[in-house]
Amino acid sequence: MNRHSVVVYALFLGVLVWSIAFKGIAQEPHVHFIDVDGKIIAEVTAQLNDENVYLSVDAVKQVFDPAMTDQYNHPRKRLTLRTKNKRIRLQMGKTTVTIDPGGKIITLSMPPMIIAQQPMVPITFFTQLLPILNDVEVIYNPSLRRVQMRPKGSWIPAEETDSQNWAAIIDPGHGGADDRGCEGNTGLLEKDIVLALAKQIQEISKQKEMRVYLTRQGDTKKTHFERIQVANRNQGKLFLSLHCNASFSPHEKGVKVYLNNPKGEIRFPTAVGQAPAGQRLKILAQANFLKQSRDFAFVLQAELNFLTEIPVTITELPLITLSEIYMPAVVLELGYLSNVEDLGKLSNPEYIASVSQAVTRAIQRYISSVNQSAPATVSEQ
Ligand SMILES: [Zn+2]
């Protein structure tokens, strides 16, 4: 080995050591705990066992109950947690958990384990057990390792009849052979993604006894007027139009929410500037719902932020497509079919399922807030 190759070799070793060290740091996983508005309330380090995420007992205390006490029996591998007058007994390697008083037995989908000589609980401890111990709902996003906890009762409308009188209109954009919307390089079509999503939202809403109508049920062409008719005929109180984006730039990506504001930040001179006076008046009428559209856009943003790495943006534009809809209205662009990552997500049925859950939660939260602030009538003047 000559001097030159020694230097090269040393340099190579240095890079190797550095990359191993860096990889070590980069791979230490974190779990983020998110509040109901999407803000991070805690970041805790986790351990991976195969692909499963495990958290220490201290992490449970940090995010759930700082007053919780724990006791670990080494020979018997038993962990006892005491929180809020309840005693939770777990055994390492066993999926059954006992909750006293009452002796209730719950079976976790993953067992607690000893990892790095510490008793640790799987993420299902949060998703399965916490809703039973407390009046909370827990959602987990495995790809971004985010856990969201929120009060269970917070969405239920003040009166049950309110949600039954309430109809949301979901408008899957495009449809039919002539109008396929945008297209991914895998052949995935916008019209199919938005219809699949709309149907799932309708299905989940039905389970929650919320009324949701779709502007098209199948792969059919619908005019703008026909879509509005569905909204008006069913006395919709909220209009959500679903679309996907495409861009010449393959880097453009992310979820975007748009709402109609005639004084919005971007002008479309061809659409609005030259619109006849009558049409401009209609835009202004829809603008009466601007505040409510914003309220819905904010809850939609908060719910969808939980699923996405890049924050969801809200843009206010003079949107002529929403101008004849006399109710709060929002356009949701689910992602860019021209971007590899977005296309991958939108091709994944699990991702679509989580988006439909998030959208339904947003509708439910919006209904609850409207019912709480104005129980009898939603202002329509
Ligand atoms: Zn579209």
Share in percent of the chain as helix, strand, coil (round to 5): 40, 30, 35
Alpha carbon of 78 to ligand 1 centroid (Å): 55
Q: Tokens 């019912």 label which residue? A: 371
CA 132 to centroid of ligand 1, rounded, Å: 42
Distance 172 CA to ligand 1 centre (A): 9
Looking at residue 360, its pLDDT comes to: 95
In angstroms, what is the span from residue 320 Cα to ligand 1's centroid? Answer: 14
pLDDT of residue 287: 65
**Confidence at residue 286, expressed as pLDDT on a 0 to 100 scale:** 64
At residue 358, the pLDDT reads 95
Strands 86-91 and 78-83: antiparallel
Q: Token digits for 319?
A: 């949107």
351: left (phi over 0), alpha (psi -120 to 50) or beta: alpha
Residues 171-210, buried b or exposed e (16+ Cβ, 10 A)? bbbbbeeeeebbbbeeebbbbbbbbbbbbbbbebbeeeeb
CB atoms within 10 A of CB 239: 26
Ligand 1 centre to CA of 179 (Å) is: 9
- Give phi and psi for 330, each to the nearest 5: -140, 145
Rg over CA atoms, the chain: 25
User: What residue segments make up the domains of the chain, in order of their start?
Assistant: 46-138, 156-373
Q: Where are any strands of DSSP class E within 5-162?
A: 30-34, 40-45, 47-49, 52-56, 69-73, 78-83, 86-91, 96-100, 104-107, 113-115, 118-122, 136-141, 146-151
Please tell me the distance between residue 143's alpha carbon and the centre of ligand 1 in angstroms. Answer: 27
CA–centroid distance, residue 171 to ligand 1 (Å): 11
Q: Which residues contact 352 (CB under 8 A, 6 or more apart)?
A: 193, 196, 197, 200, 346
For 46-138, the fitting CATH number among 3.60.15.10, 3.20.20.410, 3.50.50.60, 3.30.457.10 is 3.30.457.10
**Residue 197 alpha carbon to ligand 1 centre in Å:** 14
For position 270, what pLDDT does the model report?
Answer: 37
Of 339, 350, 351, nearest to 308 by C-alpha is: 351
Q: What are phi and psi of 323, to 5 degrees?
A: -70, -25
Q: Quick one: pLDDT at residue 16?
A: 46
Instruction: Write out residues in the chain with pLDDT < 70, as ranges.
Output: 1-27, 153-165, 264-287, 372-381
The pLDDT of residue 36 is 76
**Predicted local confidence at residue 6, as pLDDT:** 52
Instruction: Tell me, in angstroms, the distance from the centre of ligand 1 to residue 3's CA.
Output: 63
Dihedral angle, C-alpha 123, 125, 126, 129, nearest 10 °: 160
* Cα–Cα distance, 83 to 312 (Å, whole number): 36
Q: Tell me, what's the pLDDT at 173?
A: 95
Q: What is the pLDDT of residue 181?
A: 94
Any idea which residue has 């659409």 for tokens? 271
For residue 153, how far is its CA from the centre of ligand 1 (angstroms)?
35
pLDDT at 288: 78
156-373 CATH choice from 3.30.300.30, 3.40.630.40, 3.30.1050.10, 3.30.70.3040: 3.40.630.40
| Strand runs labelled E in the chain | 30-34, 40-45, 47-49, 52-56, 69-73, 78-83, 86-91, 96-100, 104-107, 113-115, 118-122, 136-141, 146-151, 167-172, 211-214, 236-245, 256-260, 313-317, 329-336
| CA 255 – CA 301 distance, rounded (Å) | 9
State the DSSP string of 15-34: HHHHHHHHHHHHHS-EEEEE
295 Cα: distance to centroid of ligand 1 (angstroms): 23
As a residue count, the chain comes to 381
Question: What is the residue whose two structure tokens read 């001097």?
Answer: 3
Helices marked H in 28-125 — which ranges?
A: 57-63, 124
pLDDT at residue number 33: 87
User: What are the tens digits of pLDDT across the range 292-341?
Assistant: 999 999 999 999 999 998 999 999 887 777 877 888 999 999 999 999 99
* Cα of 296 from ligand 1 centre, angstroms: 20
Q: What is the C-alpha to C-alpha distance for residues 60 and 125, in angstroms, rounded to an integer? A: 9
Question: Do the domains at 46-138 and 156-373 have one common CATH topology?
Answer: no
Q: Hey, what are 144's tokens?
A: 């971004």
DSSP class per residue in 328-346: -EEEEEEEETTSHHHHHHH
Render pLDDT for 71-104 as a digit per residue (tens, 0 to 9).
Answer: 999 889 999 999 888 899 999 999 999 999 888 9
Longest Cα–Cα distance of the chain, Å, equals 88
